[in-house]
């Protein structure tokens, strides 16, 4: 099971938002590119980066940061999400070196675009952002669809997508412990490779995920965001658990 630190970017700054609300953003005094370098140099193999400016405001405010990540050869260590809503933009990011891309809105609204991305060496990861057991949020969490999560995941599997990141919006950025029940049901019923995000706030959460992964190896990893920035989990501890 991999442990993946998360960096959310808004207007070029490192932030964490409570349940994705930009009016409840907490700013952290880190240079995003230097922080990625620090994670990688410490032995963490993957960093989760979300472009919230593009996801929420459809803005290119973070493009300079993404370009710097690319030029420093760090894109291969990044899974990038946030506002990837067209095949043109996705392929542009692929040219910059961002192979692992987290996509939600395009899959919901333009599923016919996905084969094009897969055929152009984009590793498409579906960002399953849920509020409750039957509501999927997308377009920067401003839109939603009420549907059967499992039926929808069967459809994306038919598209050729093999991996999802499941975020529990109700606890994202809150430092409140999350339930793993829906995630476990998804793994058992869909056989999709799954990474957990949202509400990973303590060693107890990491240990719960690790124990689940022992019996259900399709649980591939967990994403740690605010817990790192608030000093609850250190880089060294993430590296230890990742091993």
> Which residues are marked as active site?
8, 129
Tell me if 228 sits within 8 A of 8, measured CB to CB.
no
Alpha-carbon gap, residue 215 to 22, rounded angstroms: 37
Neighbours of 166 (CB within 10 A): 25
For residue 179, give the 3-state DSSP assignment: coil
Determine the Cα–Cα distance for residues 135 and 149; give it in Å rounded to an integer.
8
Can you list the alpha helix ranges (DSSP code H) found in the chain?
32-42, 52-57, 63-71, 87-96, 105-109, 114-119, 149-158, 181-190, 203-215, 226-229, 235-242
Q: How far apart are CA 5 and CA 98, in angstroms?
A: 17
β pairing state of 193-197 and 21-28: unpaired
Measure the CA–CA gap between 104 and 136, rounded to whole angstroms: 9
CB distance 220 to 195 below 8 Å: yes
Please check whether residue 32 is in contact with residue 82, taking contact to mean a CB–CB distance below 8 angstroms. no
Using CA atoms, how far apart are residues 106 and 46, in angstroms rounded to an integer?
23
Q: How far apart are the first and last CA of the chain?
A: 8
């Amino acid at each position: 099971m991999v442990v993946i630190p998360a960096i959310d970017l808004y207007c070029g700054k490192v932030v964490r938002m409570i349940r994705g609300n930009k009016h409840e953003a907490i700013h952290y005094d880190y240079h995003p590119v230097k922080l990625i370098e620090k994670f990688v140099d410490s032995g963490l193999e993957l960093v989760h980066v979300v472009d919230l400016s593009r996801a929420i405001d459809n803005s290119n405010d973070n493009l300079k940061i993404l370009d710097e990540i690319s030029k420093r050869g760090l894109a291969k260590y990044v899974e990038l999400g946030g506002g990837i809503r067209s095949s043109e933009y996705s392929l542009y990011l692929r040219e910059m070196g961002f192979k692992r891309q987290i996509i939600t809105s395009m899959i919901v609204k333009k599923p016919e675009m996905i084969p094009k991305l897969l055929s152009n060496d984009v590793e498409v990861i579906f960002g399953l952002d849920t509020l409750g057991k039957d509501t999927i949020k997308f377009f920067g969490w401003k839109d939603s669809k009420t549907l059967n999560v499992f039926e929808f995941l069967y459809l994306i599997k038919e598209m050729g997508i093999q991996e999802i990141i499941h975020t529990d919006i109700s606890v994202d950025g809150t430092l409140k412990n999350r339930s793993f029940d829906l995630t476990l049901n998804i793994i058992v019923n869909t056989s999709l490779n799954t990474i957990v995000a949202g509400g990973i706030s303590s060693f107890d959460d990491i240990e719960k995920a690790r124990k689940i992964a022992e019996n259900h190896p399709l649980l591939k990893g967990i994403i740690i965001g605010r817990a790192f920035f608030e000093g609850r989990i250190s880089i060294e501890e993430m590296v230890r658990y990742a091993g």
